[in-house]
Amino acid sequence: MPREATRAIHGGEELIENVTTFITPIYQTAIFPYPLEDLRGFRGRPLKYSREDNPTNIVLEKRLASLEEGEDALVFSSGMAAISSCLFYLLRSGWRLVLSREVYGATIPLAKSFEKFGVEVELSGPETEDIVDAIRDENTVVFVESVSNPLLRVVDLDLLASACREKGAFLLVDNTFATPLNLKPLLHGAHIVIHSLTKYLAGHNDVIGGAAISSTKIVDELWYTRTRLGCILDPHASFLVLRGLKTLSARLKISQESAKAIAEFLEDHSKVSRVYYPGLPSHPTHHIAKRLLKGFGSVVSFEVKGNGETAGKFLRSLKVIKPSPSLGGCESLASHPVSSSHKDVPREERERLGITERLIRISIGLEDLNDLIEDIDQALRSLC
């Protein structure tokens, strides 16, 4: 099998090998002639309507499955659409949904919306052992992020997957922050892996998308949920993600190297009280990160000395780095989790997790490292 960087460029192309082009075309169509015999067999069904399947999407799905070392994948209109579809597919009345307390802020109200259907929802963690203790039986679905947002805690997937196997529970892992180049949760026992394609995999801040990767059996069943909810990814968006994947390996190498240098710089800065980066020995899950991750990612979070107003002034003082809530793109972006990703999380819960008013999250892009350090330094020095 070709190595990851090669699969990120050529994975899935065998599906269109009869087309004389190096670039997967955009099948910008809502309908197909029915039945279209020469395109039959992608999932044992003829192509007939792009709410169900589209050749551009299928090439992307095969490429994503290859990168995560799963059997198949589905792409969705957003990361939240992927999460919603998986939860609709998995949960039943009387079942139990266990979420890490550190999942993306918008995921928590989504999960709680299932309570009206008779699903018990419990927040647990942030320690992996706490999540393990919340698992009861085979009617439990566990949802975690491999690397959490914004404190970048790494879940002990080996421990968690072992507990899920023992109890017969289902393990759903959002691998957006790690990427398949740094971690492949399916190889550690996860049942479904989710990605926000918007982030690292597309990598250019110009497309919204999501994906779920799993076994052929699960993907075939999840396909019906996606079709009924109508949340398939647009083929033009799939084209943009396919383009982005070709540079994933190169982009991640540069941004991770810069992130490590910036984390070390921040740890020694007089205006910074704490730095969160899995590659630093000071991070509470560094020992897990060293065991599970091939690389530590390109997101760095830190607390400025002062208060929420101090954090706001820091953001306003940045010149090269732009204030924005996303991550994983070519541009370096800074966000204030309390007022963005976790604004809907109750204050008491945020404080319990350590997500304070002083916390800043920076996604490191591809700009020159010296320019980024100088920009961060001048913004920090502007603080009283």
Kindly report each contact of residues 286-289 with a partner whose C-beta sits within 8 Å and lies 24 or more positions away, as own/partner.
288/128, 288/154, 288/155, 288/156, 289/154
Identify whether 51 is a catalytic site residue: yes
Active-site entry in 51, 112, 294, 305: 51
Residue with tokens 């039945």: 35
Active-site entry in 174, 184, 277, 361: 174
Q: Token pair of 178, please?
A: 């790690």
| DSSP 8-state code for residue 315 | H
Pairing of strands 170-174, 140-145: parallel
CA distance 56 to 24: 7
CA distance 136 to 316: 47
Half-sphere exposure of 186 (CA within 13 A, CB side): 24
The DSSP H or E segment spanning 157 is helix 157-167
CB 294, CB 67: distance < 8 Å: no
Phi, psi of 102 (to 5 degrees): -100, 15
The DSSP H or E segment spanning 72 is strand 72-76
Identify whether 276 is a catalytic site residue: no
The DSSP H or E segment spanning 140 is strand 140-145
CA distance 183 to 295: 8
Identify whether 133 is a catalytic site residue: no
Active-site entry in 184, 199, 350, 358: 199
Q: Residue 377 burial by CB count (10 A; 0-12/13-18/19+): exposed, middle or buried?
A: middle
Residue 145 burial (CB count, 10 A): 23
Active-site entry in 7, 53, 96, 104: 104
DSSP sequence for 214-269: E-HHHHHHHHHHHHHHT-BPPHHHHHHHHHHHTTHHHHHHHHHHHHHHHHHHHHT-
Taking CA atoms, 293 is separated from 154, 201, 290, in Å, by 9, 17, 6
Identify whether 291 is a catalytic site residue: no
Known catalytic residues are 51, 104, 174, 199
